[in-house]
Amino acid sequence: QVQLVESGGGLVQAGGSLRLSCAASVRTFSTYDMGWFRQAPGKERLFVAGITWSGSRTYYADSVKGRFTISRDNAKNTVYLQMNSLKPEDTAVYYCAARPSFSPVVLTTGSQYDYWGQGTQVTVSS
């Protein structure tokens, strides 16, 4: 069973930055494709960013492109989401997701992932 634990959320003013981390309890982390999703109150969970198992490919939702950066450190079993120029509309619970695969492309839908973290709250004040 894979456990994913997110951290780094909090309250920040518009224009500020946060870095989310997701630590995975799995031996073969380097074989997992990883993604970040978010869910605002009353809305569906949406894809934010994803990275392939090798780290060679990344993909972003249009709403965060140019502001957010996903990265991974396979030696630390951790994936990161650096969030800059935050906006109030970025307020949501952010979830980390994982799937054991060697996908050549970034997985962008929730149904493609097998494991999920508990989420971390990000609140951006105006």
| 3-class secondary structure, 108 | coil
pLDDT for the residue numbered 101: 86
Residue 82 burial class via C-beta count within 10 angstroms: exposed 0-12, middle 13-18, buried 19 and up: middle
Q: Token pair of 80, please? A: 């990161």
Question: Which amino acid type is present at position 16?
Answer: G
pLDDT for the residue numbered 44: 97
Instruction: Compute the distance between CA of residue 58 and CA of residue 12 in angstroms, rounded to an integer.
Output: 25
pLDDT for the residue numbered 97: 98
Ranges of residues in the chain with a pLDDT under 70 are none
pLDDT for the residue numbered 103: 84
Q: Cβ distance 115 to 77 under 8 Å?
A: no
Instruction: Compute the distance between CA of residue 74 and CA of residue 55 in angstroms, rounded to an integer.
Output: 9
pLDDT for the residue numbered 104: 87
Q: How far is CA 54 from the centre of its chain?
A: 16
Instruction: Compute the distance between CA of residue 35 and CA of residue 98 in angstroms, rounded to an integer.
Output: 6
